[in-house]
Structure 1
Amino acid sequence: MKALKRFAKRFKRRRPKQSQTKPQATDAEPTQPLPLLAPTAQIVPESTSLSSPSDAYGAFSRLPTEIRRQILTYAFGGRTVHIDLFWRHPLVRRSASVSVSGEGLQGTSKKHCGLGEELVEDDTLPKRWQWFSCVCHRSAEAQDPQNIAFYKFETTIWPFEDKCLEGEYCHCGGSDRPGKGYGYCFLGVMGWLLACRGAYSDGMDVLFSTNTFYLSSIPLLLNMRRLISPYEVDKIKSVQLAVGKSRLFRFEKDPLVHGLWQGTAEEKRDCALPLVCSTVPNLFSNVRRLELYVQSQLCPSRDVPVDQRVSLLVRDVMDPLEDMVRCLGAGKQVVIAVSLEAHKALMQKHRELEGAAFRWEPVVGTNGAIQRHQQFWRALGSDDNGNEMGYWLRTGWNDHDIVNDPYMMNCFGGGGGSIFDLWGYYRREVTLGRSQYATNVTYED
């Protein structure tokens, strides 16, 4: 009997632990703190004994503060930085393959950070919350716009089209930046921050106060003050938020707006848009410029009459966004972008309401050319001190189906056809005598 018990104990010790392969719950909130913007960095505990700034900072501490700040800004400031927190398989770095020309191992791919080629998800490991950060290398101009969308007729890659975290629309590594490789895609700030307390203090100040932070993870946005020091978050001056999921067809639920116009009471309560709008002012209390791109396809229920849909769009989407702008206060540069069709309907509505006071302008691309995007000013009154509050409402991603595109219809001689008129915009254009389509075009809901 004793021998049997000893055998059972040895067998139990040899069995693999079930927790190593058991999937984790995806609905759990992220709890892992930000490792200082580096994918594999370690945070120095507060109890670690470090030399005083005067001893460890060396000659750098004798430079004037303004000079030190300029040097550090040149090193890792003044950029647009992606911070990503998503539930996925861990990212692993594959060994680089030898290039066809035999020039070496490094820079065999131009994909940003090597994502999808040398930096890939390891699906043999269980999914978990994972941080990832990199410098935004979104190309200012696309050499071939058709690589972005087959209906895109412009060269500028806008922030709402950013795909740095997928390694696309960027030119990195390879012959473009010889000798730099993928290290150029990351800030490389950890060595400096861990040098001493003086370097950490100066570095964190420059890191958070001079860079523009691009965030697209709603879990990160809603839990940011738990995961990153609120003291550092308060230093952020410029933010780009791209929330929601853009797509032409609704094959899956978008947590940002699902249940906004229809659905059960529980689904409406779980809609993330109102929560995002109420979180942003408290999260970025000292922000000076905020760009918020609503990536979701805004589609109310077809049970709602067409002439009432714009009112629902204003009530359920724009009113929470405008309350957010008011909470941010005056003196802020705020840009909000919604999908093309929703923007058309809102622009038409406010043009009719405001008359001569209506302010709009085309958005200029990076090469100085006038692009197909435009924005109009939404005045929100004044604060208690008489300072004007408002924001620019800009065209976002193009949700207009290719067969409805006016350029394509003109190619066919302006003949008849049908248009998916979600907001009743094209019907009103006909009524106002401004329709760009032929008279025999029909409009569908």
Structure 2
Amino acid sequence: MAWADVSGPLAAGIAELAALPPVARRSDPQRAVAAAVHERCRAVRAAFMRDHGDDVHATLTEDGRLPMRLDALLDAAAVRFPGLVPDRAALAAERSAPQRAKEGWEVDQGIFAWGLLRSTRAGTAVITDMLRPTVTAERLLSEFRGADRLDLGTVTIERHGPAAHVTLANGAVLNAEDDSLVADLETAVDLALLDDRIAVGVLRGGVVSHPKHRGRRIFCAGINLTHLYEGKISFADFLLRRELGPLNKIMRGIETGSPAGLGDLGGRREKPWIAVVDGFAIGGGMQMLLVVDHVIADEGVYFSLPAVREGIVPGVANLRLSRRLGPRAARQVLLGGRRIDAAEDVARQICDQVVPAEAIDQAVDRAVDGLQSSAVVANRRMLHLSEEPLDRFRDYLAAFSIEQAQRLYHDDVLDTIERHWIKRNEAST
């Protein structure tokens, strides 16, 4: 199936959708027509990407000579292969609409990402390019080295001796994750990895202003469901970026270019990471704990992955959690919504230390001291090669791209986030 055979049917499908009223004003018959058009066009896109994922990536990157992050690939594909993925105008229109009123073009981004990531060649290139430092971090590096502290907006980074303390600072929403936080977190992780003075990263939630927990430190409440309801959570810039960007960089380091003869590992710069959990680690917060090397928790904290209740897939937790908890307990958490309290024995598979609140800072200092050996980096690298080879991660992300993109538009998800939005607004009045 060549692109010439695909472009016409896709253009015709897009024209059919454009002739319909906006999603929120469609009748049931019109919704059925739209669903049929999407199904037909998505089958064409999936078939094309299945057969030509490598060719598409080679075309967009000049046979791999031009490193491109996923957002840049999507932008370039919209121009070079019109109709394969939504262009910026379509995405901007979607961005202004609540999740329920969107056309669902991000599903087509999911098909595109699946087509690249399922390929060893193209998928490995995408992962490698997403491990490169961001332009923002490279621009801010000298400023950080001079000030030893930067406020990035929803994340701060501060150097204390050999440690970079990266603090989530989205306090009005219990340090919940959104597009801005993911971007700021990636910048902070890059800065910690680029700065030669830093040996260890420390990830912690900051003091929150949310009325329920005002003045307390909270680690992370997971995805910002209000933003999801309002249509402000991006598939590419949030759901894929967090896995391929900041979380993968914490786990695997940043890509700086491989010196000749050293192979794939020669250009990686990585450092050990500590997470400090206050209050709770819900959803994406718990997912972060699965990529760090040492977890310190306050005595009263709990951990949970409520994604199944929300109707979505909890990032890469389905790949990683069984290694920590074992398959049965992992299913209880992932499929049954089990909450784990720090006092439970099973919590020791998630956190290394549970200490009183007043002892956390001392525990962090001791953990930083214990992780500074250069042998730590070599050994964590070999652990990751054993536990989660790159191809296993790549295969998972390929399937995740399709599953998560589709879940974002299922009725159960839309109903759940609408109930959350109503409840939140009732509480604020």
TM-score (norm 2): 0.28
Greater percentage in helix = 2
Higher relative contact order (CA 8 A, sep 6+): 2
Greater percentage in strand = 1
Rg (Cα) greater in structure? 1
